[in-house]
Amino acid sequence: MSAEYDVGVVGAGILGLAHAYHLARRGQRVLVLERHRRAQGASVRNFGMIWPIGQPLGPLFHLANRSRDFWLEVLRASGLWHRQSGSLHLAYHDDEAQVLREFAAESAGSPRHCELWSPLQVAARFPAIVQANLRAALWSPAELAVDPREIIAELPGWLSHAHGVDFEFGTTVLGHDLPRVGTTSGEKRVRRLVVCTGADFRDLAPEAFRDAGLIPCKLQMMRSQPFGDRFRLDTHLAAGLTLCHYASFANCPTLPALAKRFDAELPEHRRLGIHVLVSQNGRGELTLGDSHEYGDAIGPFDDPKIDALILDYLRTFLAVPDLEIQSRWNGIYVKHPTEAFVIARPAPDVVAVTGVGGAGMTLSFGLAEKVVNEMFA
């Protein structure tokens, strides 16, 4: 039987690592249990965008900004690659530009700092962006870029060295009756348990999540060859379709009319939940995507038509020299129809956190702080 820990964390994805970080900062002795040799879920299958601009003003935007502050603290201390990249939303039609104006007006005087740029301003800073028919752009300086695969691979070592967190990889949790936790590598003893198992949320808390209303979502994504310094984007990019995806744009008065036009002109993109984002990591690789298929529409096989539609739309706003797609994959996360995340308490001293949808990287450290504070309140 192992030594007793103050808290066990199940899952070494970004939510599990963020909880381990906050717990260790409180002086807790933490054990993280991960079934794989390295986390393989949504935490390594995303863009690496810390994306406050996607969260609506109010508590969620505050949570995203709080998370961003912790990200910078962790990234600077660990020495892991990151860039304060900001983000740029591009408008190639008058109705898209109008939504950007409405968003900028709502943001004025708020903590969400952004500004409208002219096509000339865009061309001066980001020459690879397609200039033909560009009407306007929305610049936000807040967003960060990380490489999710590097983060998930390297943060455990830093947490272990800097904060004394213990990790056991290749260890599946079979059940729990605190202080006992049954695993494939023997029984562990913990006083509290935090479950961060992503799309596998039912495994350790089936009753707690039985009626939670969580819906799985499958995304298809791609990554380019490494460009090194030959092609530097140095910001996150989005275009018109993205305006209909994030809740932060929901209050823009003309957004419904824009969505109606997209339904008529890009019906396949809309049916498959395609909106196109671009990020770039330290090696110059571009991460491109994505699509959104929900519930019963999800199948095990990827659809090459989806990748083609993503690349078609990409070419309307970004000119990439000699683009080669070197890897393709899908990811699955779960989300709630109305809530930004779901916290369940299936047993005394056990908390399970999931349902962050596509905002896991953005909300992770802020959400973990909230959960840990409530644990010790």
Average pLDDT rounded to a whole number, residues 43-49 = 97
Higher pLDDT, 337 or 296: 337
| pLDDT at position 202 | 85
pLDDT at residue 233 tops 60: yes
CA distance 88 to 289: 16
Average pLDDT over residues 73-78: 98
The whole-number pLDDT of residue 1 equals 45
CB 50 within 8 A of CB 354: no
What one-character DSSP code corresponds to residue 129? Answer: B
Asked whether 180 and 308 are in contact (CB, 8 A), the reply is no
Report the mean per-residue pLDDT for the chain: 96
Closest CA relative to residue 3, chosen from 168, 157, 184, 195: 168
- Token code pair at residue 235: 């910001």
| pLDDT grade for 205, boundaries at 50, 70 and 90 | confident
Alpha carbons 334 and 356: distance in angstroms, whole number: 7
Each residue's pLDDT tens digit, 97-136: 999 999 999 999 999 999 999 999 999 999 999 999 999 9
Looking at the whole model, is its pTM more than 0.85? yes
Name the phi and psi angles at 254, rounded to 5: -95, 5
Q: How confident is the model over 258-272, as pLDDT tens digits?
A: 999 999 999 999 999
Whether residue 89 contacts residue 244, with contact meaning beta carbons closer than 8 Å, is answered with: no
Question: How many alpha carbons fall within 13 Å on the CB side of residue 24?
Answer: 22
- The pLDDT tens digits of the residues spanning 151-204 come to 999 999 999 999 999 999 999 999 999 999 999 999 999 999 999 999 888 888
Give me the pLDDT at residue 211, please. 85
Stretch 231-254: mean pLDDT, rounded? 97
Instruction: Give mean pLDDT, residues 228-236.
Output: 95
The pLDDT assigned to 2 comes to 57
